Amino acid sequence: MRVHYLQHVKYENLANMETWLKKRGHQLTKTLLYKNQGLPDLKLFDWLIIMGGPMNIYEHDKYPWLVMEKQFIKKSVEAGKLVLGMCLGAQLLSDSLGGKVTKNKYKEIGFFPATLTKQGKNSAIFKGLPDEFTVMHWHGDTFSIPKGAVRLVLSKGCKNQAFSYKERAFGLQFHFEYSPRHISPFFKDPQNALQPGKYVQSADIILKNKKGYDGIKGIMRAVLENLENSI
């Protein structure tokens, strides 16, 4: 497949997803939005992946390319592309489909459990996964479930963790693509400064959670394979 991804900051790339996709023989292209690169013609890709970032989806003055990006995501969905939004990418996808993005009651940063809803248990994207699994979180905002979409995953700290739209577009508030090497640069960005909270772990706990990283790598493989099989 031809996979195109949108990247918002230098350090939030495909991470472990890139290795998996290349091993499976998929063709990768990208748009570095933070470098003001142009977006591709819809005919040039089959699968769109929208990565995360420390910005908010409504900071149009600071990041003017957000307006263009949202329009592009909407057109990609309308064209029937397979779409996967990760964290900020999920919020952008929700907004593009008419949903709302607002501050969540809690910041979620670190490894915390997530639970499949009834619809999540029946969704192809989570086929083969247990009803509850631990994933990595790094967000302060949350998305609403757009009209026509269904909620797939929830957590104690955030009720909307994942949604699907027509089983072709999927928004995941959480992460499964990182290793300690990939997550380390997060802590160097002042926008990511950690403040104590009910669902906020320390940098030391996050970086040393080997079991957590092993777990999300398995979740990543399962989800990507499920998406691959849906094409």
Catalytic residue numbers, as ranges: 87, 175, 177
Nearest to 168 by CA among 129, 220, 226, 114: 226
Sign, CA torsion 54/60/61/65? positive
DSSP three-state, residue 44: helix
Q: Enumerate the β-bridge partners of residue 48.
A: 4, 83
Integer Cα distance of 128 and 157 in angstroms: 24
Integer Cα distance of 29 and 86 in angstroms: 17
- Secondary element (H or E) of residue 65: helix 65-78
Nearest to 34 by CA among 79, 78, 88, 80: 88
- Would you state the structure tokens that stand for residue 204, as one six-digit string? 């030391």
Q: Enumerate the β-bridge partners of residue 221.
A: none
- Would you state the structure tokens that stand for residue 113, as one six-digit string? 């459990």
Contact 226/128 with Cβ under 8 angstroms?
yes
- Would you state the structure tokens that stand for residue 203, as one six-digit string? 């940098």
